[in-house]
Amino acid sequence: MAWSPDKTEVKSWNEWDTLRHVIVGRADDCHIPPEEPALDAKVPEDSDMRGQWGRRPQETIDRANELLDNFADQLRKRGVRVDRPVSIDHSQPVTTPDFHTDSQFGCMPPRDVLLTVGHEMLEATMSYRCRWFEYLNYRPLLKQYWEEDPRFRHEAAPKPRLTDADYHPDYLSEKIGDAQRLEWAAEKFFVTTEEEPLFDAADVLRFGKDLVVQHGFTTNLKGIEWLRRHFPDHRVHTVNFPGDPYPIHIDATFTPLRPGLIVNNPQRRLPEEQRGMFEKNGWEIVDAAQPAHNTPPPLCYSSTWLSMNVLVLDPKTVCVEKSEVYQAEQMDKLGMEVVEVELRDAYAFGGGLHCCTADVYRDGDCEDYFP
């Protein structure tokens, strides 16, 4: 049955079929959280964020919200239904029997927390203490979907304990250096241990029957095994990108655009031995264009490669950040119509166009692209 705006239905099997309904995050009350093991390991060593924490400056919150609101309106004008989360008070500390942290993170970006697979939305375990309660920002929406769509499966992965046993102390030093980090990444030695299953939703890409999951700082092997057991009808593939000294979240590294075509970060190429399933099935993996910027914006966790963090609206149309001219040009050459969206001043809140959204409904069914 065709999608109708008057009826809520949750369904999305991949990253590219026509998008009908989406969640766009909010910058309200976002905080730079205090130090904690998994987060510190991820903050780039030369970043302006080291040693700083607290509520983000109000003018940056207002500006990011303006851009996110505009993006939501732009999507609505194209006929996409857009929902927004309800921000909780992120200044509240988090205390469990196992850990304490003095503040939370925000309700950005939704892609990190919510994994939509078919008729299910799964709240990820998360791996930062400051993000332990982040799902609460989305609960009013998920509650609504659950009440309105009888097929909707609202699931939550087991909450992790996040004691110190979850983190390798070697990663806690101030200065590790990129050479050491790259060596560790090549050995698949990351900040998170195998104490318990951990995953962030943004480490997962959906290709119909196949889920491709990055093993790195935010997702461990037990997290991937948990996903495998949770989705028994899927094939779950583990991937690594050894060129990335800060491997978190796959969506500035490996970006499928449509069946048969993926852009890959040229500094973080998928290793030869992990390319088999794509090559055998005639998929092309092309190097992404260079970012238009030499540095990320102020107080930003991510790299300049948010350039390739695009949101695919349908197999012929893609949203690209407005200043990312090289990425837009490449999309055009690859036969995609480009929708420009201004978002750079919101990057500091956790990411780009793919990160700041979470799928609720895309057309299409669960297909096997790698038979």
Instruction: Indicate which residues carry an active-site annotation.
Output: 200, 249, 355
84 binds ligand ARG (CB under 6 A): no
* Binding-site member from 8, 14, 218, 303 for ligand ARG (CB under 6 A): 303
Q: Compute the CA torsion angle 126, 128, 133, 134 (nearest 10 deg).
A: -70
CB of 249 or CB of 344, closer to ligand ARG: 249
Beta carbon of residue 241, minimum distance to ligand ARG (angstroms, whole number): 10
Is 320 exposed, middle or buried, given 0-12, 13-18 or 19+ CB atoms closer than 10 A? buried
Q: Phi, psi at residue 150, to the nearest 5°?
A: -65, -15
| AA identity, residue 150 | P
Instruction: Work out which of 351, 353, 360, 361 binds ligand ARG, going by CB under 6 A.
Output: 351
Give the span between the Cα atoms of 2 and 192, in whole angstroms. 43
Task: Examine residue 202 and tell whether it contacts ligand ARG (CB under 6 A).
Answer: yes
Instruction: For residue 135, give the 3-state DSSP assignment.
Output: helix
- Confirm if 29 and 221 have CB atoms less than 8 A apart: no
25 makes contact with ligand ARG (CB under 6 A) = no
Stretch that binds ligand ARG, among 19-27, 71-79, 163-171, 245-253 (CB under 6 A): 245-253
Among 252, 312, 346, 353, binds ligand ARG (CB under 6 A): 252
Minimum Å gap between C-beta 205 and ligand ARG is 11
Instruction: Tell me the three state secondary structure of residue 216.
Output: coil
Q: Which two three-digit tokens encode residue 248? A: 């978190």
Q: Count residues contacting ligand ARG (CB under 6 A)?
A: 14
**Rounded CA separation 242/65 (Å):** 34
Q: Does 111 bind ligand ARG (CB under 6 A)?
A: yes
249 versus 258: smaller Cβ distance to ligand ARG: 249
Which residues are at the interface with ligand ARG (CB under 6 A)? Answer: 109, 111-112, 202, 248-249, 251-252, 302-303, 305, 350-351, 355
